[in-house]
Amino acid sequence: MHAEPGTADAHRRGRARGGAETGQPAAPPTGDFSIFTPGYVRSLDRAFRRIFPAMGVAELLRAALEWQAHPLDAWLNAAFGAVFLAGALGLRLHRSALTVIRGAFLLACAVALSFYVLSYALLPPGLAAAETGYVLAGHYMYLLYVLMLLCWLLFPPPWASRVALTLLLASLLLGLLASGLALSEGRATLTGVLNYGLHHALVGGSLYVLLGVFTAVYARQARLERDRARLSRDALTDPLTGLANRRAFDAALEREVQASHAPGRPLSLVTLDVDHFKAVNDTHGHDAGDRVLMELAALLRQQVRASDLPARWGGEEFAWLLPGAPAAAAVRTAERLRVAAGSHDFGCGRLTVSLGAATLRPGESGAELFARADGALYRAKQSGRNRVEVG
């Protein structure tokens, strides 16, 4: 393997083992935590695949039973049935379950609001005018309350409140318009209309306030989940390079060693170090040194497989865990990285890396495997740098 003349960097091991890592603060996460995760949407999909057909059939049966006695009520029930069955069909044909469910919900809202437009026409025949307000107060309002609750399940927090408030105000306005018409025709009394309006406003408004409380609790929980995820990520990520840090690497090394011993699966480890890194910092400054480490991390990412774990172990030393890779494969991959680094323009002169590779032996611990790889890296430094040694 190609060698570069020179002596070992006497300060490397002190910086790699004990030096504090330099770097910039981690960037804040983008986007807010959302309840609409893939798992949540799948749960909605499964639930509504049962709800839609069951409700659709039930509403069509209600329409058939009421057809002779009250055709208008039957038509509205049939409309509900058609919406629910269309939703059931849409879930089978459309890829986006959430889009189908929300679309069916909005169509159901339109049908439900028509009950408020036709509220007095839907009352039982022969009902006294003084009783109409009391009957209406509990006859169809449950539809509104169910739909308002569904808003919280089907829409993100800002929109859940907006859709619920729109439904409440629209139903209240349509109900009062229908009440005014019924009052002018003598089919309702002023006391009944006031009772109907107050009941609708107070109960619906109380439910809307509760939805606001639910939304506030959800938003607080969302912030906590987001912050917890960020802290967990930051605790296991090197802020400068974005690679796993030493804590994450050490935990992964122990897991992979245990997983490899039982079936006898190969496990290799490569450690690497930037040659003459102190000279980069001394000559070009620490910002240039940070850029070198970030670009080397990018080169490392280009070489890894999906199962590999590249990490910044400390200072300018990196570790590269290769599950399932035998010794020969580990040496080949290390050599590819050495060549890639030697031909890369880091912006501060030609730089090279030295690497040490080791493969897990039967009964060996993770610490022993790392010690052999690190020893091989030290020999590569002493032997002239810009080379791969096997431990």
**pTM score, two decimals?**
0.55
Do 292 and 174 reside in the same domain of the chain? no
Do 305 and 357 reside in the same domain of the chain? yes
pLDDT over 50 (residue 8)? no
Do 16 and 44 reside in the same domain of the chain? no
Which pLDDT band holds residue 16 (cuts at 50, 70, 90)? very low
Do 19 and 42 reside in the same domain of the chain? no
Q: What mean pLDDT is predicted for residues 109-114?
A: 92
Is residue 254, in this structure, part of any structural domain at all? Answer: yes
C-alpha–C-alpha distance, residues 107 and 86, integer Å: 10
Q: Which of 59, 66, 295, 316 is catalytic?
A: 316
Do 103 and 218 reside in the same domain of the chain? yes
C-alpha–C-alpha distance, residues 299 and 334, integer Å: 12
Is residue 90, in this structure, part of any structural domain at all? Answer: yes
Q: What mean pLDDT is predicted for residues 367-386?
A: 93
Q: Which of 16-30, 82-96, 135-149, 256-270 has the highest mean pLDDT?
A: 82-96
C-alpha–C-alpha distance, residues 333 and 336, integer Å: 5
Which pLDDT band holds residue 283 (cuts at 50, 70, 90)? confident
Residue 233's CB is within 10 A of a number of other CB atoms, namely 12
Q: What mean pLDDT is predicted for residues 296-314?
A: 89
Do 252 and 214 reside in the same domain of the chain? no
Percent of all residues in the chain with a pLDDT value above 90, rounded to a whole number: 43
Range of the domain at 73: 38-233
Do 272 and 347 reside in the same domain of the chain? yes
Is residue 32, in this structure, part of any structural domain at all? Answer: no
Q: Sign of dihedral through CA atoms 252, 253, 256, 262?
A: negative
Is residue 33, in this structure, part of any structural domain at all? Answer: no
pLDDT over 50 (residue 17)? no
pLDDT over 50 (residue 356)? yes
Is residue 163, in this structure, part of any structural domain at all? Answer: yes
Do 70 and 217 reside in the same domain of the chain? yes
Do 183 and 50 reside in the same domain of the chain? yes
Q: Rounded to whole angstroms, what are the CA distances from 200 to 127, 160, 267?
A: 20, 20, 69
- pLDDT value at residue 37: 79
Do 225 and 353 reside in the same domain of the chain? no
C-alpha–C-alpha distance, residues 308 and 224, integer Å: 31
Q: What mean pLDDT is predicted for residues 360-366?
A: 91
44-65: per-residue pLDDT in tens? 999 999 999 999 999 999 999 9
Domains of the chain: total: 2
Do 212 and 257 reside in the same domain of the chain? no
Phi, then psi, of 123 in degrees rounded to 5: -70, 155
pLDDT over 50 (residue 3)? no
pLDDT over 60 (residue 196)? yes
Is residue 273 within 8 A of residue 314, CB to CB? The reply is no
**Which of 233, 257, 285 delimits the end of a domain?**
233
Which pLDDT band holds residue 6 (cuts at 50, 70, 90)? very low
Confirm whether 317 is a catalytic residue: no
Is residue 319, in this structure, part of any structural domain at all? Answer: yes
Which pLDDT band holds residue 34 (cuts at 50, 70, 90)? low
Q: Give one DSSP letter per residue of 41-58, joined into a string.
A: HHHHHHHHHHHHHHHHHH
